[in-house]
Amino acid sequence: MNILRVENLSKDFSGLQVLFGVNLEISEGERHAIIGPNGAGKSTLFNIITGLYRPSNGKIFFLDKDITGWPVHKIARSGVSRSFQITSIFPQMTVFENVRNAIISKHNLCFNLTTLVNSNKRVNKESELFIDQVGLAGLYDVPASDLSHGEQRQLELALTLARDPILVLLDEPTAGLTAEESRKAVELIRSVTEGRTLVIVEHDMEVVFSISDRITVLNDGTVLVTGLPDQIRDNEKVKMAYLGRE
């Protein structure tokens, strides 16, 4: 079963064509990486899938439902959640407050005296669960701005998962991390996305080849090739376009 299907997707920014007839299928439960050189259209593709941009042409299907042009909040509530290349958290809030806000949003709660009494324990319990799951136990009361860059990435992963998504999209989750932090991030992503469908945009090829079931290569706004990691690694067109001959 395909969780996500992109058909003939194109995007034009006032005459600047960024995507040209992109086709993509993501199967249920797979970990799928999207790679390509800078300017290939990776982030634009993510932004269209999640509703930040409207496509100039083409269709997007999630769970066989046409979601083309849906607003961001409607797509998120349908089961799609994403992280961003630049860490997107509330720095003035604590770790717990960041995640709690995501949980409140998921349940569409508007707190008053009644809902505060009835929902507070459930919300707190869920918040603690996701914080612990990403390895930030013991940092509940620490302001997000005081976390290391790696810990902020972990917090953003908690926010992405807090909506209990069917499809998780991670945009450059290891950006700015050391080699050791990247290794730990891969293990964490693999663990917390178990049983979910994952699409990841990533520049670190070690990360890509270690975590992906399949890989799609974008180049100049088009799909160059989609295949298994070994097929991508050995593909001459990919070497020329992105990976380098070595």
Q: Which two tokens stand for residue 149?
A: 């860059």
**46-97 confidence digits (pLDDT tens):** 999 999 999 999 999 999 999 999 999 899 889 999 886 545 688 889 999 9
**157-209 confidence digits (pLDDT tens):** 999 888 889 999 998 888 888 888 888 889 999 988 888 999 999 888 889 99
Phi/psi for 130 (5° steps) reads -70, -35
Domains of the chain: 1-77+196-246 (3.40.50.300), 80-164 (3.40.50.300)
In this predicted structure, the answer to whether residue 246 has a pLDDT above a threshold of 50 is no
**14-41 confidence digits (pLDDT tens):** 888 999 999 999 999 999 999 998 888 9
Tokens 């929902």: give the residue. Answer: 119
Angstrom distance (rounded) from CA 156 to CA 188: 12
Mean pLDDT score of the chain: 87
Query: Which residues, other chains included, contact 221 with Cβ-Cβ below 8 Å and sequence gap of 6+?
Result: 17, 18, 19, 20, 22, 40, 41
Q: pTM for this structure?
A: 0.86
